[in-house]
């Protein structure tokens, strides 16, 4: 295991005295990896450097926003210029209108949009709109799907294909959880059972069109189309949670990649260029229910924050100036995937690499992961050993077997070759 320096240990101890677990978001804790949190001092391009000066090839990518790589000069320049115009206004601005226009022009079915600050805020607001539009209270989500930490989303499916929600966190009431039914990803029969068991009560079905919070799990052929059909037949609102996939897996997100149009969509991460910005949008008739146009209340002092809007606009500028960006990301991702698969085959270990565009995960599993039941059965001990071996060799992977990794525009053949050789050496050590 990579050594923990005195400086890192001292910082972790200080943090633990003033923040729960020493971090401000649980996945940063590295607790499942058996080590203190890794504290980052700098991030540039495809690399991060920790407080001890150790440099790593970074495949976390800030959990998705770093599509262009860390500290892209166009984005950095735009933020500095925005600061010179004022840090925060609390009123409408020209640039937020431009960003809204650029989002709605890209995303299928997104006729209007509301800019917010976090993905959780976006998803909980989208569900509120769906409930108001339908006059119903129930929602369907998928086991292993993460939609932020609003109470209604913090439920798990247990071992059942589709079951009544059970609170997955203290502080979530049984009454709140009872409004959430949980289905199995890539299993339309489980979706049918949810609709049948709660006939006439489902306001919305919310789904990550490509699962990213149980590792990268693509939708099976016809699955998203099946969800669209069922929501239409049952009068429920189809919500695509594209906080992760939006502008990541295609220029118009997963809705564009798979040709399935939701009623509402949530966005974040890439849309803010690395600054706190998220959004929910969709059909005009649904979005016009949102205050002040309609009665569904949603508000925020920091919504459409000028610095985040500037970063988002600059990110779209770079995307638009790079017409082959998504094709290049696809090729880079394919090179990484095929190279790692070859290393896995040569090592004779039970592992598989799954990828959609620039999202990818290496699962320690004998077969493909298609739903949470498959993900929950992966070899977690092998993942920990692989993670620590790669970290010791200067490669930073997500500190969880259930998180997607990300390719960025800054990941050229050099960090890929370095990563592949580190994986070869690490898997060789694991076999000993």
SS3 41: strand
Q: Are residues 316 and 370 in the same domain?
A: no
Q: Is 98 left (phi over 0), alpha (psi -120 to 50) or beta?
A: alpha
- Of 320, 352, 373, the last residue of a domain is 320
The encoded tokens of residue 55 equal: 């440099």
CATH code at position 164: 3.40.640.10
Q: By residue range, what is the domain housing residue 397?
A: 6-71+323-431
Residue 377 vs residues 80, 217, 402: alpha-carbon distances, Å: 46, 14, 11
Same-domain status, 53 and 125: no
Residues 313 and 328 in one domain: no
In eight-state DSSP terms, residue 122 is H
Q: 210 burial class (0-12, 13-18, 19+ CB within 10 angstroms)?
A: buried
Q: Which residues of 142-164 are buried (b: 16+ CB within 10 A; e: fewer)?
A: bbbbbbbbbbbbbbbbeeebbbb
| CA pair distance 407, 112, nearest whole angstrom | 30
- Count CB atoms within 10 A of the CB of residue 200: 11
Do 110 and 190 lie in one domain? The reply is yes
Residues 385 and 410 in one domain: yes
> Are 337 and 316 in the same domain?
no
DSSP 1: -
- Please report, for residues 123, 133, 137, 138, the alpha-carbon distance to residue 195 in angstroms, rounded to integers and kept in the order given: 21, 18, 13, 10
Please tell me the pTM assigned to this model.
Answer: 0.95
- Record the tokens describing residue 89, joined without a space: 């206004």
Q: Which residues contact 122 (CB under 8 A, 6 or more apart)?
A: 116, 148, 243, 266, 267, 268, 278, 279, 280
**Taking the CB of residue 180, how many other CB atoms lie within 10 A of it?**
26
User: Is 147 within a domain?
Assistant: yes
Strand-pairing partners, residue 70, are: 45
Q: Residues with catalytic annotation?
A: 146, 241, 269
Distance in Å from the first CA to the final CA of the chain: 15
In this structure, are 62 and 82 located in the same domain? no
Residue 173 resides in a domain: yes
Residue with token string 């489902």: 202
Residue 428 burial (CB count, 10 A): 14
Residue finishing a domain among 263, 296, 320: 320
Whether 142 maps to a domain, the answer reads yes
**Dihedral sign computed on CA atoms, order 394, 400, 402, 404:** negative
Token pair for 365: 């599993």
User: Using an 8 Å Cβ cutoff, are 253 and 247 in contact?
Assistant: yes
Residue 238 and residue 99 share a domain: yes
Return all residues near 279 (Cβ < 8 A) that are at least 6 apart: 103, 113, 114, 115, 116, 122, 266, 267, 268, 271
Looking at the domain assignment, is residue 14 inside a domain?
A: yes
Whole-angstrom Cα distance, residue 76 to residue 104?
24
Query: How many domains is the chain partitioned into structurally?
Result: 2
In a domain, 312, yes or no: yes
Domain boundary among 268, 302, 320: 320
pLDDT of amino acid 114: 98
> What pLDDT score was predicted for residue 163?
36
- List, as one string, the DSSP characters of 5-17: -HHHHHHHHHHHH
Annotate 109-130 with b (16+ C-beta within 10 A) or e (fewer): bbebbbbbbbbbbbbbbbbbbb
Residue 218 shares a structural domain with residue 305: yes
Task: Give CA 194 to chain center in angstroms.
Answer: 25
CATH number of the domain encompassing residue 332:
3.90.1150.10
- The DSSP symbol for 272 reads G
Q: Do the domain assignments include residue 1?
A: no
pLDDT by residue for the chain (432 residues), tens digit each? 455 566 778 898 999 999 999 999 988 888 889 888 899 999 999 999 999 999 999 999 999 999 999 999 999 999 999 999 999 999 999 999 999 999 999 999 999 999 999 999 999 999 999 999 999 999 999 999 999 989 889 886 332 333 344 566 788 888 888 899 999 999 999 999 999 999 999 999 999 999 999 999 999 999 999 999 999 999 999 999 999 999 999 999 999 999 999 999 999 999 999 999 999 999 999 999 999 999 999 999 999 999 999 999 999 999 999 999 999 999 999 999 999 999 999 999 999 999 999 999 999 999 999 999 999 999 999 999 999 999 999 999 999 999 999 999 999 999 999 999 999 999 999 887
The span from the CA of 268 to the CA of 115, in Å, is 9
- The answer on 245 and 264 residing in a single domain is yes
Are 87 and 66 found together in one domain? no
The answer to the question of residue 86 being in a domain is yes
Phi, psi of 227 (to 5 degrees): -65, -40
The answer to whether residue 374 is domain-embedded is yes
Phi and psi torsions of 8, nearest 5°: -65, -45
Q: Verify that 142 and 167 share a domain, yes or no.
A: yes
């Amino acid at each position: 295991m990579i050594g923990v320096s005195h400086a890192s240990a001292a910082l972790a101890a200080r943090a633990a005295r003033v923040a729960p677990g020493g971090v401000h978001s649980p996945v940063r804790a590295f607790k499942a990896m058996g080590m203190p949190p890794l504290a980052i001092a700098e991030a540039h391009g495809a690399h991060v450097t920790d407080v001890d000066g150790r440099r790593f090839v970074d495949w976390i990518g800030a959990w998705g926003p770093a599509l262009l790589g860390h500290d892209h000069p166009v984005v950095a320049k735009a933020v500095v210029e925005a600061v010179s115009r004022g840090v925060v206004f609390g009123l409408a601005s020209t640039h937020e209108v431009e960003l809204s226009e650029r989002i709605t022009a890209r995303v299928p079915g997104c006729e209007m949009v509301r800019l917010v600050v976090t993905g959780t805020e976006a998803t909980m607001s989208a569900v509120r709109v769906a409930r108001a539009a339908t006059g119903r209270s129930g929602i369907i989500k998928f086991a292993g799907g993460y939609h932020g930490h609003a109470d209604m989303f913090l439920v798990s499916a247990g071992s059942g294909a589709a079951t009544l929600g059970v609170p997955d966190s203290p502080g979530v009431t049984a009454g709140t959880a009872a409004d959430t039914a949980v289905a199995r990803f890539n299993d339309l029969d489980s979706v049918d059972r949810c609709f049948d068991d709660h006939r006439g009560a489902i306001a919305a079905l919310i789904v990550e069109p490509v699962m990213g919070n149980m590792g990268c799990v693509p939708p099976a052929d016809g699955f998203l189309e099946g969800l669209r059909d069922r929501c239409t037949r049952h009068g429920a609102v189809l919500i695509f949670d594209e906080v992760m996939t939006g502008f990541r897996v295609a220029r118009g997100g997963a809705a564009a990649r798979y040709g399935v149009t939701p009623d509402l969509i949530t966005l974040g991460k890439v849309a803010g260029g690395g600054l706190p910005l998220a959004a929910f949008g969709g059909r005009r008739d649904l979005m016009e229910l949102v205050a002040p146009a309609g009665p569904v209340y949603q508000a925020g002092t920091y919504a459409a924050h000028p610095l985040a809007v500037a970063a988002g606009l600059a990110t779209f500028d770079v995307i638009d100036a790079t017409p082959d960006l998504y094709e290049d990301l696809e090729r880079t991702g394919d090179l990484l995937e095929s190279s790692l698969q070859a290393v896995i085959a040569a090592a004779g270990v039970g592992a598989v690499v799954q990828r959609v565009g620039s999202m990818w995960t290496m699962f320690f599993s004998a077969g493909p992961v298609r739903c949470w039941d498959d993900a929950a059965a992966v070899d977690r001990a092998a993942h920990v050993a692989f993670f620590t071996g790669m970290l010791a060799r200067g490669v930073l992977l997500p500190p969880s077997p259930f998180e997607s990794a990300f390719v960025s525009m800054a990941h050229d053949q050099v960090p890929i070759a370095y990563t592949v050789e580190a994986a070869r050496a690490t898997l060789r050590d694991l076999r000993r």
